[in-house]
Amino acid sequence: MNKPVQIDESWKLRLGAELEQPYFGALRHFVREEYARGKVYPPAKQIFRAFDECPFDAVEVVILGQDPYHGPGQANGLCFAVGCDIAPPPSLQNIFKELEADLGRKVSRDPDLSRWARQGVLLLNATLTVRESAAGSHQGKGWERFTDAAVQALSREREGLVFLLWGNYARQKGAGVDRSKHLVLECAHPSPLSARNGFFGCRHFSKANAYLESRERAPIDW
């Protein structure tokens, strides 16, 4: 008998129907087998960390990633983030560069990013697990449907959120967000392969805060 999925209750209210679907049962079986067979990231207790750190009603900004990092000790359950004792990967380094250029000041470069999550930044990967050294190895197993449901619930039930869609994958995942209710900002991915094609200079961080403040909501202390 499967144990209940351990996920923040506010999200379980919105995603509970997904947890009961046959595809999710198959996904749980696949992921359990993968953890038993070899190294999978993030640690199992951090799979749903993005939801646990940022309850549904606390979300202000949504950043969509694709896959967890697949190197040892990197993935921590928050997209683009790594553990505080891990060197920031290139995409995260570029995020910090753009953030400092945008705000015109130094910011914390703690790569864990939980400080953002605690302020209402949902750092959500489309796929929540990955096999070591095998990028994309858990894609197409059901995670995308589950995280799509989370994005759809936010679009439908909340108003005035900011969605930051970096790169084509994130753009596609956020294509259904109701732009009449939310601010959607799109640009190139922060990867070194594409950051100079529009991520640098996008100023998404100050634009997000300006939007939140225009709605009399607290800005994010990036």
**3 state DSSP class of 60:** coil
Q: Per-residue b/e over 100-111, b at no fewer than 16 CB within 10 Å? A: eebeeeeeeeeb
Distance CA 24, CA 40 (A): 18
- Catalytic residue selected from 57, 67, 85, 148: 67
Give SS3 for 47.
Answer: coil
Instruction: Please tell me the distance from the alpha carbon of residue 195 to that of residue 10, in angstroms, as a whole number.
Output: 35
Q: Are 92 and 111 in contact (CB under 8 A)?
A: yes
**Which two tokens mark 210?**
């300006």
Secondary element (H or E) of residue 65 = strand 61-65
- 25 phi, psi to nearest 5 deg: -60, -40
- 57 among known catalytic residues: no
Q: How many Cα atoms within 13 Å fall on the side-chain side of residue 4?
A: 8
Distance CA 67, CA 173 (A): 13
Q: Report yes or no: 99 and 205 within 8 Å, Cβ to Cβ.
A: yes
Which residues does the annotation mark as catalytic?
67
